[in-house]
């Protein structure tokens, strides 16, 4: 479980995160949603320590991450898996080497054990047999899945996914969403997904935090969000006329 | 600050060792062709120009070999060669690390709990400081061979005069001096280029700018330090 308490962050005079508190539960896909520029990715970067918070607490199973020493932070980070928006795979390494990388760095596994683990992770993301391909040879969806395989290689307790569906077609997006959710349930991970994709919200939103202009505006789940009367959230969810029509059609049935 | 992080205790010696071997190949072995070509040509040019400049019968022709040796050992094979390597290796390092920065690969390392500065930069510095002296020594030999070939091919001087010249008044410490210079330049090139790459912000344009800045700064510092070393160890 990760708990953020009253976190604030400004860049210069511009307040980006304004008193955000939320509990990200273990074994659930926790979503942070909001418009572009609302502060979603900043929250995630604060949580993993890529930015420093101005004030507040970020508790990883009770450990206040921002005040930990460098060594202790690295220990916490070893329990984190992260799927970046662009994948962030290492270009000079094959898929196998990418997935094996955290195992090489932090485990004493034998070569065979590492290979087994790599193959297991690749199988989980449906990339069996693609071990020797380089990131440049993969499609957008495959890159995301490969990055997911690397993220889960070291059996993380916490999984962060930054806009996992950006740039993907709806069908591939669903595959990625389902993968994230099934991995979360199977390995009982605390998963945090940053997204503004409404399909993802409806598909996998077990716990949702809606951020509006850096503030926590609404919390709930994928069922609640369709019944919301919060005007800003309604604007966000039903921004497209198509979504509105679909929603009304479902409601009137 | 960055160097403090670079020289922290490696998190996994085996992985670092593998990276150092990779970088020795990437930085050093891959530079061999350009080092060889430039050294042979420079040795030949220095020898021929010396022969052309010496038109007095009072100056013995073995001076050509002597001049070529001194030029190659003291300046070309260390300073000029490192200037060339600053262009090749420096831009390569800055653009590689810069591209990793803008594509979030460095963030990915950090989030995995890896000291990204140490993992990415330390092997490059160690590899360059190890392999540059070999490149310098190879350059010296090839430069002298280039001078010999030039003399023999153009009849500007005889091989025996040249060989006598390159043995005349030889001071072995100058080779050590040249190697020591190249080690310090290896550190300058790799650390500066890594610094510019590591702190790249923006996109492809900024990666290019980092790469240029790395080469320019490395080159200026190499020349500056070469001047200081010359004043300290050669000048009286």
Q: What is the pLDDT of residues B23-41, one digit of tens each?
A: 999 999 999 999 999 999 9
Reported ipTM: the value is 0.82
| Higher local confidence (pLDDT), B217 or B234 | B217
The segment with the largest mean pLDDT, out of A34-38, B28-32, B109-113, B155-159, is B28-32
Q: Which residues of B touch A160 (CB under 8 A)?
A: 111
List the one residue out of A105, A49, A54, A53 whose CA is nearest residue A73: A49
CA angle at residue A182 from A40 to A162, to 5 degrees? 20
Position A250 scores a pLDDT of 64
Alpha-carbon gap: B109 to the closest alpha carbon of chain A (Å): 9
Inspect the interface and report whether the beta carbons of B113 and A48 lie closer than 8 Å.
Answer: no
Inspect the interface and report whether the beta carbons of A80 and B11 lie closer than 8 Å.
Answer: no
Q: Which residues of B touch A77 (CB under 8 A)?
A: 110-113
Query: Strands A158-162 and A55-60, how do they pair?
Result: unpaired
Alpha-carbon gap: A244 to the closest alpha carbon of chain B (Å): 36
CA A193 – CA A28 distance, rounded (Å): 10
Position B236 scores a pLDDT of 58
Inspect the interface and report whether the beta carbons of A106 and B113 lie closer than 8 Å.
Answer: yes
- Read off the pTM: 0.85
CA B89 – CA B81 distance, rounded (Å): 11
Q: Using pLDDT thresholds of 50, 70 and 90, give the confidence band for residue B127.
A: very high
A241 CB neighbour count, 10 Å cutoff: 8
Position A63 scores a pLDDT of 92
**Which of B15, B100, B104 comes nearest A105 by C-beta?**
B15
Estimate to the nearest angstrom the gap between the alpha carbon of A1 and the chain centroid: 14
Sheet holding A55-60, edge to edge: A14-24, A2-11, A55-60, A63-64
Q: Which residues of B touch A78 (CB under 8 A)?
A: 112-113
Position B235 scores a pLDDT of 67
CA B81 – CA B66 distance, rounded (Å): 20
B30, two tokens:
């891959």
CA B178 – CA B229 distance, rounded (Å): 10
Identify whether the C-beta of residue A31 lies closer than 8 Å to the C-beta of residue A195.
yes
In the stretch 12-41 of chain B, residues with CB closer than 8 A to chain A read: 12, 14-15
User: DSSP character for B162?
Assistant: H
CA B216 – CA B63 distance, rounded (Å): 35
Q: What is the mean pLDDT of residues B69-90?
A: 93
List the one residue out of A192, A154, A84, A145 whose CA is nearest residue B108: A84
Q: If you write DSSP's letter for every residue of A7-62 in order, what string do you get?
A: EEEEETTEEEEEEEEEEE-TTSEEEEE--TTSSHHHHHHHHHTSS--SEEEEEETT
Looking up tokens 């009072």 gives: B58
Query: Strands A63-64 and A14-24, how do they pair?
Result: unpaired
Inspect the interface and report whether the beta carbons of A82 and B12 lie closer than 8 Å.
Answer: no
**Which of B15, B104, B113 comes nearest A86 by C-beta?**
B104
Alpha-carbon gap: A36 to the closest alpha carbon of chain B (Å): 18
CA B189 – CA B194 distance, rounded (Å): 8
With CA atoms as reference, the chain B residue closest to A99 would be B112
- Residue B233: which residues within 8 A CB-CB, separation 6 or more? B177
CA angle at residue A180 from A207 to A29, to 5 degrees? 10
With CA atoms as reference, the chain A residue closest to B113 would be A74
Helix (H, G, I), strand (E, B) or coil at A72: helix
List the one residue out of B21, B114, B224, B132 whose CA is nearest residue A80: B114
Beta strands in chain B (DSSP E): none
Query: Given CB atoms, is B224 within the 8 Å cutoff of chain A?
Result: no
CA A28 – CA A222 distance, rounded (Å): 12
Query: Given CB atoms, is A68 within the 8 Å cutoff of chain B?
Result: no
A16, two tokens:
């980006």
Mean pLDDT by 10 residues, chain A (253 residues): 94 91 94 90 91 93 91 88 90 93 89 94 90 92 90 92 85 86 92 88 90 91 83 80 69 64
Inspect the interface and report whether the beta carbons of B15 and A104 lie closer than 8 Å.
Answer: yes
CA B74 – CA B77 distance, rounded (Å): 7
A203, two tokens:
């598909």
Helical ranges in chain A per DSSP H: 40-48, 70-77, 95-106, 111-124, 140-153, 170-187, 198-204, 222-225, 231-237, 241-252
Q: Is the pLDDT of residue B46 over 70?
A: yes
**Which of B107, B110, B114 comes nearest A105 by C-beta?**
B114
User: DSSP character for B10?
Assistant: P
Q: Is the pLDDT of residue B200 over 80?
A: yes
């Amino acid at each position: 479980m990760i708990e953020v308490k009253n976190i604030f962050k400004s860049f210069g005079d511009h307040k980006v995160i304004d008193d955000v508190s939320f509990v990200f539960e273990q074994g659930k896909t926790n979503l942070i949603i909001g418009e572009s520029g609302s502060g979603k990715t900043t929250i995630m970067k604060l949580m993993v320590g890529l930015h420093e918070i101005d004030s507040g607490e970020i508790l990883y199973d009770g450990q206040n991450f921002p005040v930990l020493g460098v060594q202790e932070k690295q220990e916490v980070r070893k329990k984190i898996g992260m799927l970046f928006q662009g994948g962030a795979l290492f270009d000079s390494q094959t898929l196998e080497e990418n997935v094996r990388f955290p195992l090489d760095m932090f485990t004493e596994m034998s070569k065979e054990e590492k290979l087994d683990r790599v193959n297991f992770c690749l199988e989980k993301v449906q990339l069996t047999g693609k071990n020797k391909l380089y990131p440049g040879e993969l499609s957008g969806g495959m890159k995301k899945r490969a990055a997911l395989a690397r993220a889960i290689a070291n059996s993380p307790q916490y999984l962060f996914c930054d806009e996992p569906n950006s740039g993907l077609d709806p069908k591939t997006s669903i595959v990625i969403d389902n993968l994230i959710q099934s991995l979360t349930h199977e390995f009982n991970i605390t998963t945090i997904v940053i997204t503004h994709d409404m399909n993802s919200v409806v598909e996998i939103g077990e716990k949702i935090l809606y951020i509006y202009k850096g503030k926590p505006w609404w919390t709930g789940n994928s069922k609640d969000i369709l019944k919301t009367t919060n005007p800003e959230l309604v604007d966000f969810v039903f921004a497209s006329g198509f979504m509105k029509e679909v929603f009304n059609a479902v409601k009137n049935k | 600050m960055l160097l403090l992080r670079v020289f922290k205790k490696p998190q996994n010696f085996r992985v670092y060792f593998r990276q150092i071997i990779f970088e020795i190949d990437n930085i050093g072995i891959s530079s061999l062709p350009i080092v060889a070509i430039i050294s042979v040509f420079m040795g030949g040019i220095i020898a021929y120009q010396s022969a052309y400049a010496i038109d007095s019968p009072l100056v013995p022709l073995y001076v050509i070999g002597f001049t070529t040796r001194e030029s190659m050992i003291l300046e070309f094979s260390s300073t000029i060669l490192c200037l060339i390597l600053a262009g090749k290796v420096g831009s390569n390092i800055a653009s590689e690390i810069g591209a990793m920065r803008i594509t979030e690969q460095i963030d990915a390392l950090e989030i995995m709990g890896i000291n990204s500065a140490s993992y990415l930069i330390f092997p490059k510095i160690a590899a360059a400081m190890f392999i540059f002296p070999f490149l310098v020594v190879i350059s010296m030999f090839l430069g002298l061979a280039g001078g010999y070939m030039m003399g023999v091919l153009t009849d500007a001087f005889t091989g025996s005069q040249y060989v006598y010249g390159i043995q005349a008044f030889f001071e072995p410490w100058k080779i050590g001096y040249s190697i020591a210079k190249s080690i310090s330049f290896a550190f300058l090139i790799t650390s500066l280029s890594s610094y510019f790459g590591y702190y790249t912000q923006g996109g492809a344009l900024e990666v290019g700018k980092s790469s240029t800045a790395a080469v320019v700064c490395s080159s200026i510092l190499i020349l500056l330090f070469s001047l200081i070393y010359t004043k300290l160890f050669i000048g009286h």
